[in-house]
Structure 1
């Protein structure tokens, strides 16, 4: 799934600033007493979220811990007895951003208001990669009359950002809600429109957010459409009826994610399903045990995470503002934790 426009902007800018190689990855065990706020967290809530995805973890040590968790132990001692906090670093500073599930207005039939289709995957795009660009898909007739439309929405800008987030909900005129999830893409690499606005000198890097980009595109409809074409990547969707509207969207583990407790991580460093202690600094600090249940194209490195904020405009505004330092510590099964150590304990 494609996650977090701001995350992508940050990643692009960091790459543009320096291509120097970082130090090799190191692993260090820290004590639970060293986790700021550990004693005050709601460990029961974290355990519930861990249980949502741990049955899908395949390694025997994780399966054993999941079986224990399913017996509903006292949450805090469970984590402290069977895990060890591991600090994984590669020389790059920690960075936290946020993502959310957008909610759009739409209809199952097109009309003057609902004119912008959300498409299923065309079969030819599965066998030809890269396929057509965003410009070619939206400006031509290749998608017309083929029955590939899932729903029509009323705002092309929100549709663009739906593609960036990778999943969302569409509220119909009768109040019903349908959910769409990532179905595929056209094979072109994602290019950040926020970074393009910075390159053009329209904004400084610290000024760019999803809301800023949306407002600029709406104020400049012709130039705005061209700006969106700067990103040749195009995402197709599938309708998801198996997830109740009140639950979160599906993450990378094909389970619903949880607002305030799910993070997207780089699975090269953090196992999907692992508990992760977050110490996010900044204006509104977050010290909380979360679970790595999602991934993102801009989430790269062991100290990089995208926090899921929930569904709708308020969640989107909160997620869009987030760009803070801190640290993240992965809770690993004990034997695995000691096996990962860069240097053996004295």
Structure 2
């Protein structure tokens, strides 16, 4: 989902806080067969990838691919690998991944290298052995490495949170979920000639798009390109217009930061539609990080929301800790009660109800443990945050429960009555003020006619599959492609994270070579798994063999190798024109 900035766009993704720091958990030792290869000497050319079968027949001695085949981009190294190197490859149940693969094919089948692959997939028998052979025979396996040849990186998790909302504003439900502002404009900075990207240029508006002005255009605005950071990860700049077009003071300004939006007074201060009103600003902030969410209305109906746009400012989130959700006590024997909305506290304001190590539940953020000598339960509680959250219903003696990841189980036909004491407005105001330290802001749109059993739509434009979809940096891992992931299981879980997944999403904090954000699904259980996913892992990407062979000899990837240090002048492994494009 285009999460910050992208999916769902900015890349989603809960916590809230998508940090870019390294993972706090200790590194898991990589399998012996997958240790990172040593860097090649400067100036070493990238040999062509072998087209020989990569899998060694069962029972024979394992042998790696022939030759040290390698390609490089500015963002990563890729080494030819063998399927026999993959830890857990033979144990993974391919049937569980097939629906995610078919979803990717809905988009990729339009490409020449994918057309036959996706057509043939429809004839594969529904058994793991046949599916595994299908991938081995049609895809070339490349180990993803950092530019310095390191082979492990951060693996985090995200999920789809549940909020409470209604269409009318009142004393409790007074936090607006905003749609895209009508005064938000975008411009693709690559449309500006390279020689002018560090100067003042003239632009004109076409709808909510800005384009470089042509000679003779009168209704133009001045845009100082030096005020903007030009990121090849996201080529769109989000801006607003000041003054009448063509007037001496007509100019382009960066769009409002979160603090500026709050100072203007939402929603009155800007021209933006209110999609729904919710009762918890921290939960809304969490949904902004995740990139999507579900809102339960008073009659029990579920409104699904996904990323629509963001304000164009860098994501610098506060760290937000999810509170342990517990079910409302019920009178019915065996009735698990309704699915409770997700709620959060700002890190440092956690109570004993927070998880043991108070990890951050994020849309792809790396996490930090509490400082040495402190614990989450010993942290001082901000009285305003405590006031905000104390109204949440809880029954400490009732076991926690939740729906299965990706399902709608546990959501009642009608929402339970609200707490007798609504959250105080001053408390919400204080929390909102603290969140203003993050300049980014996400706008949402509703999702119509989508089954509640489906995951949210990712950046690729297809529904995410719990346990089989990941968010990636598309400069390194092309969207839609199969990826093999090897990482430790979350704490207390027997679920294997050595499995085939698909790169179907992005996120603002998902940057770098070996970087994955694992989608767990919807509900309390998915949220708990997501908050526990904070490991070091390894990644491999599968390319259609014809594409891999062509890529290996492409000047696009190898022309910069001779410049020294094994550097490449290409940003993308597979340029796709939308999520990763080569920029002059």
Aligned counterparts of 1:104 and 1:140: Cα–Cα separation in 2: 25
Aligned counterparts of 1:135 and 1:121: Cα–Cα separation in 2: 17
Q: CA RMSD in A?
A: 2.9
Could you say which residue in structure 1 is the equivalent of 2:548? 337
Q: Does 1:55 align with 2:114?
A: no
Q: Does 1:11 align with 2:20?
A: yes
State which of 508, 517, 521 in structure 2 corresponds to 1:310.
Answer: 521
Q: Does 1:194 align with 2:246?
A: no
Aligned counterparts of 2:292 and 2:87: Cα–Cα separation in 1: 33
Alpha carbons 1:47, 1:69 under 8 Å: kept: no
Q: Secondary structure at the match of 1:11?
A: coil
Aligned counterparts of 2:142 and 2:509: Cα–Cα separation in 1: 23
Question: Which is worse superposed, 278-287 or 327-336?
Answer: 278-287
- Shift in Å at residue 339 of structure 1? 4.5
Higher-Rg member (1/2) = 2
State which of 132, 143, 156 in structure 2 corresponds to 1:76.
Answer: 132
Alpha carbons 1:12, 1:192 under 8 Å: kept: no
More helix by percentage: 1
Alpha carbons 1:82, 1:334 under 8 Å: kept: yes
State which of 481, 500, 519 in structure 2 corresponds to 1:274.
Answer: 481
Question: Which is worse superposed, 136-145 or 248-257?
Answer: 136-145
- Shift in Å at residue 141 of structure 1? 3.6
Could you say which residue in structure 2 is the equivalent of 1:132? 256
Aligned counterparts of 1:8 and 1:328: Cα–Cα separation in 2: 24
**1:27–1:132 Cα change, 3 Å:** closer
- Shift in Å at residue 48 of structure 1? 1.8
Alignment of 1:44-123 (within 5 A): 44-57=95-108, 58-73=110-125, 74-90=130-146, 91=148, 92=150, 93-123=152-182
- Shift in Å at residue 27 of structure 1? 1.9
Q: Which blocks of at least 5 consecutive residues in structure 1 are unaligned?
A: 15-22, 196-200
**1:287–1:311 Cα change, 3 Å:** same
Question: Which is worse superposed, 221-230 or 247-256?
Answer: 221-230
Aligned counterparts of 1:160 and 1:28: Cα–Cα separation in 2: 39
Q: Secondary structure at the match of 2:119?
A: helix
Q: Secondary structure at the match of 1:329?
A: strand
Could you say which residue in structure 2 is the equivalent of 1:219? 386
Q: Secondary structure at the match of 1:40?
A: coil
Equivalenced residue count is 327
- Shift in Å at residue 259 of structure 1? 0.5
Aligned counterparts of 1:240 and 1:177: Cα–Cα separation in 2: 11
Aligned counterparts of 1:82 and 1:238: Cα–Cα separation in 2: 38
Q: Which blocks of at least 5 consecutive residues in structure 2 are unaligned?
A: 4-9, 24-38, 40-71, 186-238, 241-252, 321-346, 350-356, 363-375, 388-426, 559-584
- Shift in Å at residue 278 of structure 1? 0.9
- Shift in Å at residue 5 of structure 1? 4.8
